[in-house]
Structure 1
Amino acid sequence: MHTVALALYEGAMLFEAAAACEVFGVDRSELADPPDPWYEFRVCGPGQGRVGDWLRVDTPYGLDAVADADTVVVAACDVETGPPGDVVEAVRAAHGRGARIVALCTGAFVLAAAGLLDGRRATTHWMHAELLATRYPRVRVDPDVLYIDEGSVLTSAGKGAGLDLCLHVVRKDRGAAVANALARRLVVPPHRAGGQAQYVTAPVPDDAGRYGLADVLQWALARLHEPLTVADLAGRAGMSPRNLARHFNRALGMTPLHWLHAQRVHRAQELLETTDAGMEQIAARTGMGTAATLRRHFTRAVGVAPDTYRRTFRGSR
């Protein structure tokens, strides 16, 4: 029987821990045909550890039980305080003995601290991806995907993506039929299209005023339906296109054209979420011209087609 150990610790996040318990800790033997023994599941960590901000759990196993597990699931951690040293050591030792390590959300910081992500692709919640890349520069952080499978080391984005990764593990271990049946039991999609880009909020240019861009940004946002160009933005700002590009890079970390394109996509997201407008109407109101152009640019930027995005988010506000 395949042993899965959930590594808990003081301050671990509740949702991700619960997702692992639901997927690996509840006997689903009957989903296979013929029935096949499910995972042997262990919750490991300090006794009466705090999970979330208000719950304390009695873990039946200590961290030493992580060492001989076949798969170790690492719950999300507080990125400000960082991962506990004993958990880092337990995970490193388990991987050294051949265990598969699965990090949910900011659990990636535990794996990075253990050196298991050096030279590997990894992901985490989009809000913390930049911090992961800065704190652990040897990790190749990809903030756009829901999860990454590097064989013996797997990482996921935030919250719901942790459940996606757990289902992916079941799919690898027991096949698509069992994973799909489990997803139906949990009332979640067996596989979600796209990546994290569809869940990222529009960046707020905090430094726009300091670099003299506040007026031109507001002016452009009111005219996204028009065929604006970089020359138009430069003219409004009273700068040359080259000088404008320097200011945009300093304030926003991107070119004027990139910013303009991103705002058109964000406006399309808002219209898809809050209106019943058709694709041609949305294309016109965002300055993308045609529905075909909208679909091409939106899918490239967000990772899913506009129709799929609308089905996911319609009515969420």
Structure 2
Amino acid sequence: MTDPAGYTPPKVWTWERENGGQFARINRPIAGATHEKVLPVGKHPLQLYSLGTPNGIKVTIMLEELLALGHAGAEYDAWLINILEGEQFSSGFVEVNPNSKIPAMLDRSTEPPTRVFESGSILLYLAEKFGAFLPTEHHKRTEALNWLFWHMGATADLGGGFGHFYAYAPEKWQYPIDRYAMEVKRQLDVLDRNLAEREFIAGDEYTIADMGIYPWYGELALGQLYDAGEFLSVHEYRNVVRWAESIHAREAVRRGRMVNRMRGEPSEQLRERHDASDFELRTEDKLQGGE
């Protein structure tokens, strides 16, 4: 449909429950819990409550990369939070993240347990806890953090802006789609120019900046996000595509992308993860023709 003509905002905005397309049932202008429910707790110190969206898989990629490096303390339980069912508004989840957004993590190795929310904060927390994927030299560390925080601000335009109006809004309106497509392409150009001079986002080292940016812009460049690759001409950003392909090929990334996933082929989904052997069981199930 075309853009609505002549909309005049009222003097006082009121909440229309059905506003928001497929997310109408979970979007609301207030915070807090809607129901009482205790979060499950597994056997590992790190408890992750998440969903296999771009923001969620940043953290599962990081955890799988840590395990691949031999950090046994990074073993974790990953519990599925179905945001379309409003599970992020349970009393238990709100205790871990008062903002009711995935991912959220509880580190039970500390006393009292440490809650960590916001994907960038979780990446930084894990990098510092295990001393990995964040350079210690001042300039390199700062550059990695520059890009980590860049993506935390930038992806609001890609996900909440472009993704919403292009893929999820109940009607197609040209103005917001044009507005956000322009900004997303500018951001891709920022990344492409940066990656023309370096192998990874922050330099010659693979860091939490790559893990944070890949699920959004990497998957977009590979045509796996919003089915928008052709629309945004992502093939033009050759350096981003090269970088995205190299990240995508990593075994830990393959594993991380499966955890808490509810979309794609059944063979790509591991809805809960409690042990490294869960991946092998999933592979065996695939070979036997199960789902």
Give TM-score, length-normalised by structure 1: 0.26
Q: Which has the higher strand share?
A: 1
Of structures 1 and 2, the one with the larger relative CO (CA 8 A, separation 6+) is: 2
Give 1 or 2 for the bigger CA radius of gyration: 1
